[in-house]
Chains A and B, each alone.
Chain A
Amino acid sequence: MLEIRFHGRGGQGAVTSAELLAEAALTEGKHAQAFPSFGPERRGAPVTSYCRIDELPIRLRTNISAPDIVLVLDPSLLKTVNVTDGLKETGTLIINSQKGPEHFVHNHKLHKIATVDATGIALQILGRSITNTILLGALIRTIAPVELSSITAAIQKRFDQKNAALNIQALQQAYQETKILNMPDYPTQENQFADAPAATGENAPVQPQAQSLWIELELGCLITNPGNSKTYYTGSWRSFYPLLNKDRCIKCGICWILCPDAAYTQDTEGFYPVDLNYCKGCGICAHECPTGAITMLQEKEAGV
């Protein structure tokens, strides 16, 4: 059985990716399943989806914790999500990145690492940074769990004619441009790169990995630590961040009262600095500031 995990952001189509792949496997007479990880995460939040493919019926119904293949749809995720968590030693890592695969060699034995500039291809062909079908092109080039023609058939079935044609064009370009590193050919140990996954960018909040195996529950599942959601940094959802120009700020507090994430608090000088650990980058503050003191700027992508 082949187990594939997709890492994307809510709204980017990670679930569609998994479904297209499963659909393609089904048309080849294989057994397959595709499903998202259900959680409270919303648009922009890191999400995972899963796909299983086998020659035999699949009875497993659990999330995939030890995948054979990991696909990363959004390079900014590398800042905060441990994408290689549980990835098998014989496994393959495929990343949307402008960089070559050698940049992602890390302290982990793998079979193959592949990269493709899916965002670049998406912007060029689709006009939007939707990378889900494009990464499938890289997957098929790297490991071919299904035939290219089965994927294109699945895309044709799913999208209208125009969008199907564009997605297939993008997928084929990705297929051509994918760079693959065969790890057994690669001298390990000495070659460890600084910007391997989990590198931290400038504004990168550090996501606590509070995954203790045993939690003592209070009676009735009481949560006895009020407001402990503050340990969860929603700043990692952001693709734009607000920049304050203090010269224009009149200290009116509008940004503060209108932020859904309570990311602003007043400092001793009366300004409202933003807490980037929580700001989701919605842009409300910039839109509503009466003097135009706030500008939304694009986050730099980690390791790019």
Chain B
Amino acid sequence: MTDLALELVSVTAGYGDNPIVREFSARLYAGTITTLIGGNGAGKSTLLRAIFGTNRHFSGQIVFKGETIEQLPPWERLKRGVGFVPQGRCNFPAMTVEENMKMGCYTLPAGRHVAAIERVANSFPMLRTKWRTDAGNLSGGEQQILEMAMVLLVEPTLLLLDEPSLGLSPKMQGDVFVTVQQVARTGVTVLVVEQNVRGALLISDRALVMEQGRLFMEGPAAEVRTDPRIRQAYLGGNIKQTAA
């Protein structure tokens, strides 16, 4: 549990001329689930985008498997094993599930597509039952599973998940959490942003707390869960954040 999967060294990132995430440093350990907690607009999505490379990097290092990747474009990071499932619906709605899966294989050599799709479809039997349905006609939960499946096709060693349970029924939220745990058990390092903080802390090994783009607290999930400030801000009856 001490193998380093990803190290962020004072990362500053944002959009255009606006740095949103500031001097953010953290470590993710191989095969663990880390949850990233923070209020609305704290910069959680911005941090995940920075790790995948779809927004502007200002300064700092992102070290993945001993290599600094912050200057690489997203497809190069994907090839090295960084997978990212963005927030909200992120699939090809006018393509069938099958076509979406084929697109998921985009960076793989053609000879590996069939085997990759077979492997991932076996872990998500739901997909097979909807194989010829347009992704846009799936339920929110099914689309979320599909999006995770599309990224898992390339066997990433680091999986970034942005609010995978957002907008799902409580039952589907549970299914998504179980799926995340299954994925982590195969050795994949997971960094997950969750609006369901309680649920996410329960399946996570560690937690990072972000406030206004900066690291506010980090530690084992069990400790963060019992911290009075976290309990009050994120786990109380009132979900409204106090940006103290």
| Chains A and B come from one and the same complex | no
